[in-house]
A = this chain, B = another copy of it.
Amino acid sequence: MKTQRENSRLTTADRLVLTAMRLFGEKGYGSTSVADILREAGANSGSLYHAFPTKQDLLVAVLGLYRDGIEPMLLEPAWTGVDDPIEQIFALLASYRSRLEATGCTYGCPIGSLALELHEPDPPVREALAVNFDGWVSAVEGRLLAARDRLPAQTDIRALAQFVLTVMEGGVMQSRTHRSLQAFDAGVTVLRDYFQRLQTPPPTPDSTERS
């Protein structure tokens, strides 16, 4: 039983996608050569190009795998043992923090890295990236909706969910660049303060005003 390399009981195509997923996350798309993928997957170039017309099609397959993995690989592990929907959001952020910490602030969000690395991606790639962001945002949106009654009535829930993604991605970017968790933690702390204030009923100093 070989454990090195991507699970060798899988088909070659699956091994290639899993290896590419890992390497694209580690080194980016452009800096990962087809030869790198073939070597680490233990496959030959003919096998790759039998399963995928081009390297870019392999990338699209990787992005599809990320999309399908959001629920079972990302959300579910982050949320087990956390009941409060808003705390689930922060548990999700904490999972990114763990990832940063475990890798010395080199790994972050592979989707975000790819999104900024590929400046003018072909439509299928750009759409696959957007679908990943949408899936993430929708998951957070679901948690916010579960806490709807704790938030101001006029809150734009979708926009707030996008904002959570924004804070995560921006924090990861800075933490990776500074090789320090400080920036990520600062972002989460400020976001928590914002949620605190959202959940605190407004001034009501006199009485009327504010709908």
Residues of B within 8 A of A191 (CB): 163
List the one stretch of A39-47, A72-80, A93-101, A110-118 in contact with chain B: A110-118
Chain A interface residue count, CB cutoff 8 Å, equals 52
Residues of B within 8 A of A173 (CB): 112, 115-116, 166, 169-170, 173
Copies of this chain present in the complex amount to: 2
A8 at the interface (CB under 8 A from B): no
Residues of B within 8 A of A116 (CB): 108, 112-113, 115-117, 173, 176
Residue of B nearest to A180 (CB): B130
Q: Are A119 and B106 touching (Cβ within 8 A)?
A: yes
Distance between Cα atoms of A126 and B169 in the complex (Å): 18
Q: Are A165 and B174 touching (Cβ within 8 A)?
A: yes
A59 at the interface (CB under 8 A from B): no
Pick the 5 closest A-B CB pairs, nearest first: A166-B170, A170-B170, A159-B186, A116-B116, A169-B170
